[in-house]
């Protein structure tokens, strides 16, 4: 194999790192985000380099606040960025829709990461549709290298046309690492020039201005298309976008079947065509909204069929169907509406190969299904027995486990309903805890517990959410519950971090994302200020105290709050280890089958019995929290003295 | 290397598959190859099944390895080897750390850990290399270097990559204070009996 040209520095960049470097290269000055998989590493990368490049970056309390922070920076004239996952844009949609009318001054880019699959999200929503709804341009990178280039272009487009621009990578861009020809930009040596917010009625939305700006936004659509067209972001593929020397694709340009791809689908289609030994051109769309259909219609002249390959919703396909209809062109279009491709999940070679083969055969481009001899042969797993699943679980020593256990013990006999929320503690829904009955979205737990209490007042309703989620969207529903005389208990699982997304700081920690000390609010005081009369803070590792608090809290007539505190085990040192006292153990199975700590396992070395198996504690896994020892009714779990 | 090489790393959250894949990708980059590496994060550190896909070659488009397309499957745990064995080509190589980590359904007695994994895999696969990576890492000085032991084994089945490339990749990805232990772990994996 020939080594490729190494004259330009080649670095392995994760898609999210590439987006961060694109923003830095574009001179971004303010970045405000809320973490969410798969978007989080964009802001984390910015934070690592913020001081070097004179960038102000923050973790905001939620996505709405993050976008509004970025808008202020933009209206002052600074380039600004906000990053979130796709469901985060639901939270930020209120400012976004009006921002589309009012426009920007400094370039403003929203990075909204989609998660087809989904791998770690509650929906598979397609942010390109959100862009259509808001009438804003969206860029859809296929690779980390293209994400680097498109991020820089997004700032330029935003500032030129005074509209915010959405960059929509998917998981297979965000979390894919690729070799990219890239050198970090030089660090500024002088302080950057100050920005200045110019007072002007154009920044104050009033109905009269709305009507005017709506017409302006509609008129901008043509300018957006024109801008994209000049830069050929939508193009017949001749080389890897963002890569070095162009290697013209010797394609069969006269093929009767046209193929149009969007986003990461390009990679799968090129791989599939290579596998089939076909050299067909592919028209790739990196800027799907608003789609510039004129060059596409020109390309489709003389074609007999079109296959549109895009994950999730038929955003490109529908715009082309409308354009063809208006042009009186009866070209058949295959994609989502024809049933060729699914709207759900990710694409893959396995999914695309048979579908592409079928259309290629119909077009006379492929002789038979096995033309390239690619019937996939694999080491079969058909003979395997069903394998035990290995789903994520709460860590050994996690304070959420003991709190869920305590509340279940204290209230389940009363048919209590546990409303859950988004965070590590969603894992409380898994066996053996089974301690989460509902999960909807960020901040839903308190509102839903209150809502349930109005229709089912005789059952205890207990809401669980984490500290970061409390600051994100847990405070308004708590005020609402008090105001509307709900009878419910809110448990704030305060583990002193945003654990699920990788331990970002939040307002409850006294430190900013830029590692500066800041005011540390007291959650108990906030709760009291919301009007809650019954509040108690407990140590999440104290099972008896948590159970006592649980009983009192659900007996309280009104809204009660239990704050269960213990640092996430990932951010503090281990406390030691515990062991089973085999003499005292009665094999009741509570620790193994009810408590469900991953450090407690059946002892394989012991002889099989008819009862529960003997158990042991794996010393390397045990955190030393000692909550299992409190759960054991026979005092058979003891601290290992070192 | 004449065509794309597909290497799948599978294991349990917390076993260091991502660091291992970074070392591998660094090696490939040093050879001037195209690299695409795909990971799924999210709950990875919470004990779930994790997979990292690495594709290297002259021109790599897709970041995903399809069933039956992996040239090498590196399994950090026995059950995970079983779970992902369908991704291997019939003529592919599987490297298995003989460690067993019981998933929760097994711990809770709702399922059993399959007992015949290694024999079944040996019967199906052209080349199965089973190594005691955890004990080799512990002997080298740190049980957490199990991932680097497995990279040593992988290096031994990729003879066209020069040894210094792996050493450079270790230096670039491992903190200095752990470098010596990791060098030992890598050497133990490279030289271990099959």
Rounded to whole angstroms, how far apart are CA atoms A113 and A265? 16
pLDDT of residue B40: 76
Subunit contact A570:B25, Cβ cutoff 8 A: no
Structure token digits, residue A286: 């990196």
**Closest approach of chain A CAs to the CA of B157, in angstroms?**
17
Q: Is pLDDT above 60 for A375? A: no
Q: What residue ranges define each of the domains in chain A, with the CATH number in brackets?
A: 3-230 (3.40.50.970), 234-378 (3.40.50.920), 399-571 (3.40.50.970), 578-639 (3.30.70.20)
Which chain A residues touch B124 with a CB distance below 8 Å? 379-380
Contact state of B85 with A176 under an 8 Å Cβ cutoff = no
Closest CA to A352 of A336, A340, A364: A340
With CB atoms and an 8 Å threshold, state whether A120 touches B41.
yes
Of A137-146, A324-333, A544-553, B52-61, where does mean pLDDT reach its minimum?
B52-61
Residue of A nearest to B77 (CA): A390
Q: Mutual orientation of helices B146-156 and B179-191 as an angle, nearest 10°?
A: 40
B63, A176: Cβ pair inside 8 Å? Answer: yes
Give chain B positions within 8 Å (CB) of A601.
102, 107
Instruction: Report angle CA A614, A618, A621 to the nearest 5 degrees.
Output: 145
Residues with Cβ within 8 Å of A610's Cβ and at least 6 positions away in sequence, in order, are none
Q: Which of A19-28, A241-250, A329-338, A591-600 has the lowest mean pLDDT?
A: A241-250
Q: Determine whether the interchain pair B58/A1 forms a contact, defined as Cβ–Cβ distance below 8 Å.
A: yes
Q: Does B172 touch chain A (CB under 8 A)?
A: no
Chain A (134-193) residues lying within 8 Å, Cβ to Cβ, of chain B: 171-172, 175-179
Nearest CA in chain A to B29: A179
Q: Give A543-554 pLDDT, tens digit per residue.
A: 999 999 999 999
- What share of chain A in percent tops pLDDT 90? 82
CB interface of A with B, residues 106-125, below 8 Å: 119-120
Region A256-274: mean pLDDT is 95
B6-45 confidence digits (pLDDT tens): 999 999 988 999 899 999 999 998 888 899 999 876 565 6
Confirm or deny that A585 is annotated as ligand binding: yes
Give the A window 317-376 contacts with B, CB below 8 Å. 348-350, 376
Mutate to test the interface with A, among B17, B32, B36, B41 (most CBs of A within 10 A): B41
Mean pLDDT (whole number) for A522-543: 98
CA distance A608 to A177: 48
- The CA–CA distances, whole Å, from A336 to A279, A312, A339, A617, B157 equal 24, 9, 5, 52, 43
For residues A262-287, average pLDDT: 93
Quick check: A593 contacting B, CB < 8 Å?
A: yes
Taking CB atoms and an 8 Å limit, are A390 and B80 in contact across chains? yes
- Rounded to whole angstroms, how far apart are CA atoms B121 and B130? 10
**A71-121 pLDDT per residue, tens:** 999 999 999 999 999 999 999 999 999 999 999 999 999 999 999 999 889
Q: How many inter-chain contacts (A to B, CB under 8 Å) are there?
A: 190
A628 is in an annotated binding site: yes
**Strand order from edge to edge, sheet including A534-539:** A417-419, A461-466, A488-494, A559-565, A534-539
Instruction: Give the mutation candidate from A38, A177, A245, A622 for the B interface (greatest B CB count, under 10 A).
Output: A177
User: A328-354 b/e with 16+ CB inside 10 Å = b?
Assistant: eeebebbbbeeebbeeeebbbbebbbe
The mean pLDDT value of chain B amounts to 91
For A450-502, write each residue's pLDDT tens digit.
999 999 999 999 999 999 999 999 999 999 999 999 999 999 999 998 888 88
Q: Where are the alpha helices (DSSP H) in B4-132?
A: 17-30, 78-84, 104-107, 117-124
Q: How far is B108 from chain A (nearest CA, A)?
A: 5
pLDDT at position A10: 83
Question: Do the annotations mark residue A395 as ligand-binding?
Answer: no
Q: Identify all chain B residues contacting A600, using CB atoms and an 8 Å cutoff.
A: 107
Residue of higher predicted confidence among A141 and A620: A141
Q: Using an 8 Å Cβ cutoff, are A10 and A181 in contact?
A: yes
Which pTM does this prediction carry?
A: 0.93
Q: How many CB atoms lie within 10 A of CB A233?
A: 22
Lowest-pLDDT range, A394-408, B61-75, B104-118, B119-133? B104-118
Say yes or no for a CB contact (<8 Å) between B67 and A350: yes
What pLDDT does B193 receive? 78
To the question of whether residue A622 is assigned a binding role by annotation, the answer is yes
Residue in chain A nearest B126 by alpha carbon: A379
Q: Per-residue confidence at A186, pLDDT binned at 50, 70, 90?
A: very high
- Average pLDDT of every residue of chain A: 92
ipTM, 2 dp:
0.91
Which residue in A299, A279, A235 sits closest to A261, CA to CA? Answer: A235
Q: What is the CA radius of gyration of chain A?
A: 28
Does A348 sit within 8 Å of B89, measured CB to CB?
A: no
pLDDT band at A368 (very low <50, low <70, confident <90, very high): low
pLDDT category at A383 given cuts 50, 70, 90 is low
**CB atoms B90 and A377 under 8 Å:** yes
A621, HSE (Cβ side, Cα atoms, 13 Å): 19
Written as six digits, the tokens of B130 are 């089973």
Whether B32 and A4 lie within 8 Å, measured CB to CB:
yes
Least confident of A175-184, A371-380, A444-453: A371-380
The C-alpha of A214 sits at a distance from chain B's nearest C-alpha, in angstroms, of: 39
* The pair of three-digit structure tokens given for residue A204, joined into one six-digit string: 């104050």
B162 touches chain A (CB under 8 A): no
- Domains in chain B (CATH in brackets) are 5-191 (3.40.920.10)
Q: Which of A63-67, A495-499, B1-5, B107-111 has the highest mean pLDDT?
A: A63-67
In angstroms, the Cα distances linking A71 to A74, A77, A539 are: 5, 10, 40
A441 is in an annotated binding site: no
Give the angle B179-B182-B186 at the CA atoms, nearest 5°.
135
pLDDT reading at A243 higher than 50: no
Residues 372-401 of A with CB under 8 A from B: 376-381, 383-385, 387-395
Q: Report pLDDT digits (tens) over A572-629.
A: 999 999 999 999 999 999 999 899 999 998 887 766 666 788 899 999 889 999 999 9
Q: Which of residues 98-137 of B touch A (CB under 8 A)?
A: 102-114, 120, 124-125
Flag whether A83 is marked binding: no
Which residue shows structure tokens 């971004």? Answer: A28
CB distance A53 to A24 below 8 Å: yes
The pLDDT of residue A245 is above 50: no
| Residue A483 Cα, gap to closest chain B Cα (Å) | 36
Residue among A390, A431, A589, A604 with most chain B CBs within 10 A, to mutate = A390
Helix A293-300 to helix A315-326 angle (10° resolution) is 70
Give the pLDDT confidence of A44-54 residue by residue, as tens digits: 999 999 999 99
- Confidence (pLDDT) at B132: 97
């Amino acid at each position: 194999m020939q080594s490729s040209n190494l004259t330009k520095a080649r670095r392995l960049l994760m898609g999210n790192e590439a987006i961060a470097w694109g923003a830095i290269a574009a001179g971004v000055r303010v970045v405000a985000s809320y973490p969410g998989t798969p978007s989080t590493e964009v802001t984390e990368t910015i934070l690592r380099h913020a001081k070097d490049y004179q960038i102000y970056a923050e973790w905001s309390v939620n996505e709405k606040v993050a976008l509004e922070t970025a808008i202020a920076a933009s209206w002052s004239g600074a380039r600004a960025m906000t990053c979130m996952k796709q469901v985060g844009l639901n939270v930020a949609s209120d400012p976004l829709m009006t921002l589309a009318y009012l426009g920007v001054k400094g370039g403003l880019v929203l990075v909204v990461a989609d998660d087809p699959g989904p791998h770690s999200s509650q929906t598979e929503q397609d942010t390109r549709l959100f862009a259509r709804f808001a009438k804003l341009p969206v860029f859809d990178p296929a690779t980390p290298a293209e994400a680097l280039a498109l991020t820089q272009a997004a700032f330029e487009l935003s500032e030129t046309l005074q509209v915010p621009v959405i960059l929509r990578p998917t998981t297979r861009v965000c979390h894919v690492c690729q070799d990219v020809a890239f050198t970090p930009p030089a660090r500024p040596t002088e302080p950057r020039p100050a920005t200045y917010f110019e007072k002007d009625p154009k920044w104050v939305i009033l109905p009269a201005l709305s009507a005017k700006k709506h017409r302006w936004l509609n008129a901008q659509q043509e300018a957006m298309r024109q801008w994209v067209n000049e830069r050929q972001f939508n193009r017949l593929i001749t080389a890897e976008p963002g890569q070095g020397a162009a290697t013209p694709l010797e394609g069969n340009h006269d093929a009767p079947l046209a193929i149009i791809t969007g986003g990461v689908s390009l990679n799968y289609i090129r791989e599939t065509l290579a596998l089939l030994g076909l050299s067909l051109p592919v028209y790739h769309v990196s800027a799907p909204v608003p789609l510039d259909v004129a060059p596409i219609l020109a390309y489709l002249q003389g074609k007999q069929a079109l296959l549109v390959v895009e994950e999730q919703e038929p955003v490109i396909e529908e715009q082309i169907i409308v354009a063809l209809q208006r042009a009186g062109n009866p070209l058949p279009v295959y994609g989502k509406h024809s049933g060729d491709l699914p709207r759900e999940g990710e694409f893959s070679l396995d999914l695309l190969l048979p579908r592409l083969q079928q259309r290629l055969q119909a077009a006379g481009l492929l002789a038979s299904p096995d033309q390239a001899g690619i019937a996939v042969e694999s080491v079969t797993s058909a003979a395997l027995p069903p394998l035990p699943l290995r789903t994520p679980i709460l860590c050994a020593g996690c304070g959420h486990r003991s709190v869920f256990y305590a509340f279940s013990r204290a209230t389940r006999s009363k048919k209590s309903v546990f409303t859950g929320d988004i965070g590590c503690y969603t894992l409380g829904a898994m066996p053996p805890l089974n301690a989460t009955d509902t999960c909807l979205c960020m901040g839903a737990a308190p509102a839903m517990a209150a809502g349930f209490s109005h229709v089912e007042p005789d059952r205890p309703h207990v809401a669980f959410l984490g500290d970061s989620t409390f600051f994100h969207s847990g405070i308004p529903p708590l005020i609402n519950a008090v105001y509307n005389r709900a009878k419910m208990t809110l448990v704030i699982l305060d583990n002193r971090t945003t654990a699920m997304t990788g331990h970002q700081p939040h307002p409850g920690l006294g430190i900013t994302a830029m590692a500066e000390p800041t005011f540390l609010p007291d959650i108990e005081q906030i709760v009291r200020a919301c009007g809650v009369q019954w509040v108690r803070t407990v140590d999440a590792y104290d099972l008896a105290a948590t159970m006592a608090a649980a009983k009192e809290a659900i007996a309280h007539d009104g809204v009660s709050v239990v704050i269960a505190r213990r640092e996430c085990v990932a951010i503090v040192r281990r406390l030691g280890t515990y062991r089973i006292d085999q003499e005292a153990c009665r094999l009741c199975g509570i620790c193994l089958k009810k408590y469900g700590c991953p450090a407690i396992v059946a002892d394989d070395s012991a002889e099989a019995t008819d009862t529960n198996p003997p158990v042991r504690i794996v010393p390397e896994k045990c955190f030393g929290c000692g909550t299992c020892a409190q759960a054991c009714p026979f005092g058979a779990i003891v601290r290992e003295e070192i | 290397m004449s065509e794309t090489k597909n290497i799948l790393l599978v294991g349990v959250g917390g076993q260091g598959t991502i660091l291992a894949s970074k070392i591998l990708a660094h090696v490939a980059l040093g050879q001037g190859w195209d690299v695409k590496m795909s990971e799924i994060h999210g709950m990875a550190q919470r004990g779930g099944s994790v997979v990292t896909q690495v594709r290297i070659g002259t021109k790599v488009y897709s970041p995903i390895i399809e069933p039956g397309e992996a040239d090498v499957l590196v399994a950090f745990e026995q059950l995970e080897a079983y779970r992902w064995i369908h991704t291997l080509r019939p003529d592919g190589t599987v490297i298995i750390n003989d460690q067993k980590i019981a998933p929760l359904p097994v711990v809770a007695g709702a399922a059993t850990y399959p007992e015949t994994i290694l024999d079944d895999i040996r019967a199906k696969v052209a080349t199965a290399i089973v190594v005691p990576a955890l004990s080799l890492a512990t002997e080298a000085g740190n049980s957490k270097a199990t991932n680097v032991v497995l990279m040593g084994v992988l290096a031994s089945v990729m003879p066209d990559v020069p040894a210094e490339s792996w050493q450079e990749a270790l230096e670039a990805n491992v903190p200095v204070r752990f470098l010596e232990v990791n060098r030992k772990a890598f050497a133990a994996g490279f030289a271990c009996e099959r």
